[in-house]
Chain A
Amino acid sequence: ILNVEQSPQSLHVQEGDSTNFTCSFPSSNFYALHWYRWETAKSPEALFVMTLNGDEKKKGRISATLNTKEGYSYLYIKGSQPEDSATYLCAFMKGRWGAQKLVFGQGTRLTINP
């Protein structure tokens, strides 16, 4: 894979259900994978910076895993709430510290139905 790809592009989930989506990225020359949440009319908010193969990070009901060998990361949301409605962006970091270059995926637009 040459670019960052996210799937699905959009997702509708019932309140209380759990969900997950995928980010695929180049598996060579890996430095980091970032996850951001972007709510409408707000600024993107950093969720996780993931660096090590097998990494698992958690923030409240949201967690993420990382597989650098096969080039994918999963984001999980447990017990979805209306406030989870947002676009979730992953970004592959190119280059090293000092001048980060993030290449973003298209995002997964999540809508939680009450």
Chain B
Amino acid sequence: DTEVTQTPKHLVMGMTNKKSLKCEQHMGHRAMYWYKQKAKKPPELMFVYSYEKLSINESVPSRFSPECPNSSLLNLHLHALQPEDSALYLCASSQVRMVQGGQPQHFGDGTRLSIL
């Protein structure tokens, strides 16, 4: 069983809808990540939160709005998405330790998003 829980597993929404993706972990990790993965492509980083503060935004369009309300939760708010935003959205978490090489990331199963 994955230790990072993402909901929902599947989401179909219209271009005018507003929805949110949720991610939860209880491993005490203080870094959390959102990735986007298109078919036959590798995961691409969207956002990184470190100690509940946004530390990396990979020039993601503003129709994607991340939120980290506490150390266990990460949300991705979606509004006015485009068909090309259809993808698998993966959440991950890791420890934040000052060691060389960083820490392995623990991934959720993802949310499969389809934009009509």
Contact = CB atoms under 8 A, between A and B. Distances in A.
A97 B97 contact: yes
Interface in A4-48: 31-32, 34, 36, 41-46
B56 A99 contact: yes
Nearest to A32: B101
Contacts, number: 75
A45 to B, nearest CB: 8
A100 B105 contact: yes
Interface of B: 2, 4, 31, 41-45, 48, 50, 55-56, 90, 94, 96-110
Contact of A49 (B41, B56, B90, B104): B104
Contact of B102 (A31, A42, A43, A89): A31
A27 B55 CA distance: 25
A86 to B, nearest CB: 13
B107 A43 contact: yes
Contacts of A89: 42-43
Interface of A: 31-32, 34, 36, 41-46, 49-51, 89, 93, 96-107
Contact of A102 (B4, B50, B99, B105): B105
Nearest to B42: A104
B42 A43 contact: no
A43 B90 contact: yes
B48 A100 contact: yes
Nearest to A87: B42
A50 B100 CA distance: 9
A91 B96 CA distance: 18
Nearest to A99: B55
A98 B96 contact: yes
A65 to B, nearest CB: 15
B109 A100 contact: no
Contacts of A41: 109
Contact of A32 (B56, B100, B106): B100
